[in-house]
């Protein structure tokens, strides 16, 4: 199978080799060294300030989203949240569950965030802002500078879900002034699923210190205390943390995050150009594309039927959408261990389906 989904994605041979090894005991100086190296490289690739910290939680990316809210927000906050798809909706559900007062900015599927969406919320006493830098469900890459400026002017604590954009699109955590960025092991980090990575700026560390977290397992005070020596409070997904280490060093050896971002951008450009060249019956639904994924609306067939056909008859996974987008949108990812030849095969499959009058 060739995997064009947005996660789990294909891993490099070196990362997969780690998956085949015995999982080592982890309360050791060697494992601590691996963890501290992971922290150092994540900070470098995310362009953080020196006094920012990183924690690795054993949960998927959504666990990182909930952890951010439980540790850094409380009932005295007044949050703004962008909801332009299923991941924005998740933030809304989490804020509701944890009883954080909030206002939702609902954007139509596929629409970009514009200055006029924010104007009415200026100087209204908002204390926090939550968004996906890239709303993966509809493939919309939001204007983070616009949000960062709003947060600076209004003194908002910024929580950015970069789960599907870290290592795909440029991101400078220090420049945005974000308090927290969250990513996960199975997106562009291209490892097995199971680890959420959280980068915490000093503003987040202060909130964590002052806030009470009503969950022991996801209490960042404990995670931070342990991470001082490269450890975790509980047994982590040791094997995946070792995969992350190999992957981060691979990226470093290639020339760093910018080289990986350029590689991803080139795959996206290549695929999008082929779509146009062959005049395939798909419309790109997003006003503002990330390099991570191309969201497509097929004009002649159900998106989900195309996903099934490509999986069952051509041995490839494109990424289906759920809920009310199931028949409308499917996505083609550009993250993980993929090459241009893989896209040639996918394009050939689409052309074949058109010849057979399926699309």
Ligand X SMILES: *Cc1c(COP(=O)(O)O)cnc(C)c1O
Our separate counts of H helices and E strands in the chain read: 13, 15
User: Of 194 and 239, which CB lies nearer to ligand X in the complex structure?
Assistant: 194
CB nearer to ligand X: give 171 or 314: 171
- Select the residue interacting with ligand X from 4, 5, 7, 57 (CB under 6 A): 7
| DSSP at 259 | H
Which residues ranging from 161 to 180 are in contact with ligand X (CB under 6 A)? 161, 163-164
Map residue 114 onto helix, strand or coil. Answer: coil
Nearer to ligand X, 18 or 182 (CB): 182
Please, which of residues 34-63 interact with ligand X by CB under 6 A? 60-62
**Interacting residues with ligand X between 102 and 161 (CB under 6 A):** 132, 136, 161
Residue 113 Cβ vs ligand X, minimum distance, rounded to whole Å: 14
Give 293's strand partners: 333
**How many CA atoms are closer than 13 Å to the CA of 147, on its beta-carbon side?**
27
Residue partners of 235: CB distance under 8 A and separation at least 6: 26, 58
Residue 265: count other Cβ atoms within 10 Å of its Cβ.
17
CB 132 → ligand X: shortest distance, Å? 4
Residue among 26 and 87 whose Cβ is closer to ligand X:
87
**Cα separation of 25 and 52, whole Å?**
28
> By CB under 6 A, how many residues form the interface with ligand X?
12
The residue of the chain with the least Cβ separation from ligand X equals: 61
Burial of 329 (0-12, 13-18, 19+ CB in 10 A): buried
Neighbours of 1 (CB within 10 A): 9
Q: Which C-beta is closer to ligand X: that of 7 or that of 230?
A: 7
CB 131 within 8 A of CB 88: yes
Distance from first CA to last CA of the chain, Å, rounded?
A: 22
For residues 71-90, which are near ligand X according to CB under 6 A?
87
Cβ 313 vs Cβ 284: under 8 Å:
no
Q: What is the smallest separation between the CB atom of 29 and ligand X, expressed in angstroms?
A: 31
Half-sphere exposure of 64 (CA within 13 A, CB side): 29
Binding string, residues 247-266; x marks residues near ligand X by CB under 6 A? --------------------
Out of 179, 184, 295, 320, which residue is the one contacting ligand X (CB under 6 A)?
184
Nearest approach, Cβ of residue 344 and ligand X (Å): 26
Q: How far is the CB of 42 from ligand X (least distance, A)?
A: 17
Nearest distance from residue 237's CB to ligand X, in Å? 13
Specify the residue, 319 or 359, whose C-beta has the smaller distance to ligand X: 319
Q: Which residues bind ligand X (CB under 6 A)?
A: 7, 60-62, 87, 132, 136, 161, 163-164, 184, 187
């Amino acid at each position: 199978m060739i995997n064009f989904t947005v996660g789990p994605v294909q891993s490099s041979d070196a990362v997969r080799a780690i998956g085949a090894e015995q999982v080592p005991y982890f309360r050791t100086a060697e494992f601590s060294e691996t963890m501290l190296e992971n922290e150092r490289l994540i900070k470098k690739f995310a362009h953080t300030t020196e006094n920012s910290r990183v924690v690795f939680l054993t949960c998927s990316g959504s666990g990182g989203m909930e952890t951010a809210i439980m540790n850094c927000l409380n009932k005295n906050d007044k949050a703004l949240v962008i909801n332009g798809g299923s991941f924005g909706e998740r933030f809304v559900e989490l804020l509701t569950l944890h009883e954080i007062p909030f206002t939702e900015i609902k954007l139509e599927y596929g629409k970009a965030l514009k200055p006029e969406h924010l104007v009415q919320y200026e100087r209204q006493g908002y204390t926090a802002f939550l968004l996906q830098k890239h709303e993966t469900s509809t493939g919309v890459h939001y204007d983070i500078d616009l949000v960062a400026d709003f947060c600076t002017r209004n003194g908002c604590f910024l929580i950015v879900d970069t789960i599907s954009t870290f290592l795909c699109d440029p991101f400078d955590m220090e420049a945005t002034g974000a308090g927290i960025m969250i990513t996960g092991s199975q997106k562009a980090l291209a490892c097995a699923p199971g680890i959420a990575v959280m980068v915490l700026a000093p503003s987040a560390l202060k909130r964590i210190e002052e806030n009470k977290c009503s969950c022991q397992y996801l209490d960042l005070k404990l995670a931070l205390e342990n991470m001082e020596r490269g450890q975790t409070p509980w047994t982590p997904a040791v094997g995946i943390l070792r995969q992350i280490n190999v992957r981060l060093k691979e990226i470093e050896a290639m020339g760093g995050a910018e080289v990986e971002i350029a590689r991803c951008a080139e795959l996206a450009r290549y695929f999008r150009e082929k779509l146009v060249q062959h005049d395939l019956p798909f419309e790109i639904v997003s006003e503002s594309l990330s390099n991570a994924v191309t969201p497509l609306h097929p004009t002649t067939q159900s998106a989900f039927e195309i996903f099934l056909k490509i999986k069952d008859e051509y041995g490839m996974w494109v990424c289906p959408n759920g809920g009310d987008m199931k028949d409308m949108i499917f996505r083609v990812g550009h993250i993980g261990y993929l090459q241009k030849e893989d896209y040639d095969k996918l394009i050939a499959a689409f052309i074949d389906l058109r010849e057979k009058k399926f699309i």
